[in-house]
């Protein structure tokens, strides 16, 4: 643990001093504390900061990484901390602490897709600044590496949270390498048997494939030399256990059908060279139809760019090649962190070169994806300049006592929250406890608030609620209740629950939810449970008449692999 490892050559003297100060401070504050593994606690802070330094973050972020557990784990008041390290670092550390309070819980062993999505959004909303996410991801990575020291139940919860929440966030930020690493670290804790089967069956295959790849590499090098192409490097990439398992699951556990167990990766200098290399490979060996993928012309939604092809290679064995430039490679590994590094490494040697790449990427696919995901239309240039996540500023994410996340428009009150959960909860609401404290019903909710609605049977809503209720759903129901209409007439709609039994496959939930959204029906809750080779999906939604529900069944039947559909009034 040497502070020098955290200092990049592009930092000025002030920045270097800051990191040294944060290092000494964190070390002193955590003095005597031990991790469950028995290591000094400070090891964790150092490893988190080291990862951030590897991602070429700025000095502020690296310092905040060192200090990220100081407020939570020592008795230092936030005010004193601010005085010591300034508003910016205090803001980052506070952000990381807040995210840490969001806990992912599985309900009755069922994973709710919408809940996961809301938690991901909430984490982004709480972060406000992407640097908070980077610190949290670095923190989680080290925690996953040392997960073995924790009790089994905690292991499982943290592994699940990592696979369901943090790995997808990393993936959506284009940090594919990190996303895969997190998923792989979680895998043995979530699928013990499968992990054992895989590690027993794959080891020999891996070694065999490595040796084979060595042979192929020599032939490729020779051919490239003949065409006067000098690659930056050629290496092998072994497929990750977690993604291998997902793939095996889709191909009935047949290892022989996995062609990219070990893929050869060729890194060259220019885009032209990428295509030239693809041509050379295809001259050497015939390509397998349907396996040529041009992610340079058509990048993946998260911004991934590369050429992929599978050819009948040496000994007629199907072999995958990935061809890309060094820039594409760095982006594929580190995604948004790479761009962030470009934008801030102003004094770095490569700055001018990186700036040029950065400018070229203004219309990055992943930014569009991220915006689409959040339903936001602001200019990507604006977004890139700040790299702040304030496009979520219009939404509030509050938590129920059960840990469910409720997504509301900004300015919403406990009354809106109550009606969002259930009409009766809204009507019978008499008070609210926010983060354990009684608050007025017109209180404006903040992201991360824990909201506990106090109810009293046979209570009626008050006329005054209409003055501060924000959502139309709350207003509509307050008015209906005040008019004394029976519940079935209020808003003329009812809750229906659909049960869909289908063949278990990737993308099923997405297909189901898109049928609902295309029909302009909001799903309130979506559950899936896996049973012997099939999935049972339950979706609750509000529908005005039974005819609509029947129509929906017809549409749902068209989804691939659907076996049975039923619905009932909930």
Query: In the complex, which residues of this chain contact Mn ion (CB under 5 A)?
Result: 69, 139
Residue 141 or 543: the one with the smaller Cβ distance to Mn ion is 141
Residue 15 or 139: the one with the smaller Cβ distance to Mn ion is 139
What backbone phi and psi angles, to 5 degrees, belong to 129? -135, 130
Cβ 45 to Mn ion, closest distance in Å? 7
Cβ 41 to Mn ion, closest distance in Å? 9
What backbone phi and psi angles, to 5 degrees, belong to 301? -55, -30
Cβ 221 to Mn ion, closest distance in Å? 44
Residue 48 or 213: the one with the smaller Cβ distance to Mn ion is 48
Cβ 100 to Mn ion, closest distance in Å? 8
Residues whose CB falls within 8 Å of the CB of residue 364, separated by 6 or more in sequence, listed in order = 303, 339, 380
Token digits of residue 142: 């080290």
Strands (E), 97-215: 111-112
Residue 126 or 521: the one with the smaller Cβ distance to Mn ion is 126
Cβ 172 to Mn ion, closest distance in Å? 22
Tell me the three-class secondary structure of 506-539, residue by residue: CCHHHHHHHHHHHCCCCEEEEEEEEECCEEEEEE
Residue 12 or 33: the one with the smaller Cβ distance to Mn ion is 33
Cβ 32 to Mn ion, closest distance in Å? 17
Long-range contacts made by residues 282-288, C-beta under 8 angstroms, separation at least 24?
282/309, 282/311, 283/223, 284/219, 284/220, 284/223, 284/311, 285/311, 285/312, 285/313, 285/314, 285/319, 286/311, 286/312, 287/311, 287/312, 288/259, 288/312, 288/318
Long-range contacts made by residues 12-17, C-beta under 8 angstroms, separation at least 24?
12/347, 15/58, 15/59, 16/59
Q: CA dihedral in degrees (20, 26, 32, 36; nearest 10)?
A: -120
Token digits of residue 361: 């990427």
State the CB neighbour count (10 A cutoff) for residue 250.
12
Residue 139 or 331: the one with the smaller Cβ distance to Mn ion is 139
Given its phi and psi angles, is residue 219 left (phi above 0), alpha (psi -120 to 50 degrees) or beta?
alpha
The Cα diameter of the chain in Å comes to 86
Residues designated catalytic: 72-73
Residue nearest to Mn ion (CB): 139
Cβ 5 to Mn ion, closest distance in Å? 18
Burial of 291 (0-12, 13-18, 19+ CB in 10 A): middle
- Please name every residue paired with 238 in a beta bridge, in sequence order, or none if there are none: 262
Q: What gap in Å lies between CA 275 and CA 388, rounded to an integer? A: 36
Cβ 186 to Mn ion, closest distance in Å? 17
Burial of 336 (0-12, 13-18, 19+ CB in 10 A): buried
Residue 69 or 327: the one with the smaller Cβ distance to Mn ion is 69
State the CB neighbour count (10 A cutoff) for residue 2.
9
Residue 139 or 320: the one with the smaller Cβ distance to Mn ion is 139
CA–CA–CA angle 38, 44, 49 (5° rounding): 165
């Amino acid at each position: 643990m040497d502070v020098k490892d955290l200092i990049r050559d592009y930092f000025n003297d002030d920045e270097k001093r800051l990191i040294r100060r944060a290092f000494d401070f964190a070390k002193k504050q955590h003095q005597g504390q031990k991790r469950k593994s028995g290591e000094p606690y400070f090891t964790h802070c150092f490893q988190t900061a080291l990862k951030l330094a590897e991602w070429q973050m700025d000095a502020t972020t690296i310092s905040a990484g060192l200090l990220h557990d100081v407020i939570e784990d020592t008795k230092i008041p936030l005010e004193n901390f601010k005085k010591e390290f300034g508003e910016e670092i205090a803001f980052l550390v506070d952000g990381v602490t807040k995210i840490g309070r969001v806990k992912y819980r599985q309900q009755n062993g069922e994973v709710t897709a919408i809940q996961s999505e809301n938690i991901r959004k909430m984490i982004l909303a709480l972060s406000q600044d992407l640097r908070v996410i980077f610190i949290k991801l670095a923190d989680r990575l080290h925690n996953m590496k040392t997960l073995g020291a924790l009790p089994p139940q905690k292991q499982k919860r943290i592994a699940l949270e990592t696979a369901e929440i943090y790995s997808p966030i990393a993936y959506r930020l284009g940090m594919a390498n990190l996303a895969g690493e997190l998923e792989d670290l979680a895998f043995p804790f979530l699928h013990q048997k499968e992990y054992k089967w895989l590690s027993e069956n794959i080891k020999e295959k891996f070694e065999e494939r490595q040796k084979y790849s060595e042979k192929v590499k020599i032939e490729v090098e020779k051919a490239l030399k003949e065409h006067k192409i000098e690659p930056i490097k050629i290496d092998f990439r072994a497929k990750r256990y977690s993604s291998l398992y997902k793939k095996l699951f889709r191909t009935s556990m047949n290892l022989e059908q996995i062609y990219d167990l070990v893929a050869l990766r060729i890194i060259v200098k220019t885009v032209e060279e990428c295509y030239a290399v693809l041509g050379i490979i295809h001259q050497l060996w015939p390509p397998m139809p349907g396996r040529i993928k041009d992610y340079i012309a058509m990048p993946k939604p998260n911004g991934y760019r590369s050429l992929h092809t599978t050819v009948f290679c040496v000994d007629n064995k199907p072999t995958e090649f990935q061809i890309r430039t060094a820039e594409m490679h760095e982006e594929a590994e580190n995604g948004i962190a790479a761009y962030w590094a470009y934008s801030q490494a102003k004094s770095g040697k490569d700055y001018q070169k990186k700036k040029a790449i950065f400018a070229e990427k203004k219309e990055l696919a992943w930014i569009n994806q991220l915006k689409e995901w959040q339903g936001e239309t602001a200019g990507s240039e604006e977004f890139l300049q700040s790299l702040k996540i304030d496009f979520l500023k219009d939404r509030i994410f509050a938590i129920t006592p059960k840990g469910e996340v409720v997504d509301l428009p900004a300015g919403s009150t406990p009354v809106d929250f109550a009606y969002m959960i259930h009409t009766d909860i809204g009507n019978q609401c008499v008070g609210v406890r926010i983060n354990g404290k009684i608050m007025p019903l017109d209180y404006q909710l903040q992201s991360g608030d824990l909201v506990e609605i106090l109810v009293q049977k046979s209570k009626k809503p008050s006329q005054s609620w209409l003055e501060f209720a924000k959502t139309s759903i709350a207003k509509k129901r307050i008015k209906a209740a005040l008019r004394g209409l029976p519940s079935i007439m209020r808003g003329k709609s009812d809750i229906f629950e659909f049960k869909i039994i289908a063949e278990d496959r990737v993308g099923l939930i997405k297909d189901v939810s898109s049928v609902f959204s295309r029909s302009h029906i909001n799903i309130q809750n979506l559950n899936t449970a896996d049973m012997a080779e099939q999935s049972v999906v339950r979706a609750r939604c509000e529908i005005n008449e039974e005819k609509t529900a029947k129509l929906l069944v017809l549409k749902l039947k068209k989804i691939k692999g659907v076996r049975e559909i039923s619905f009932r009034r909930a």
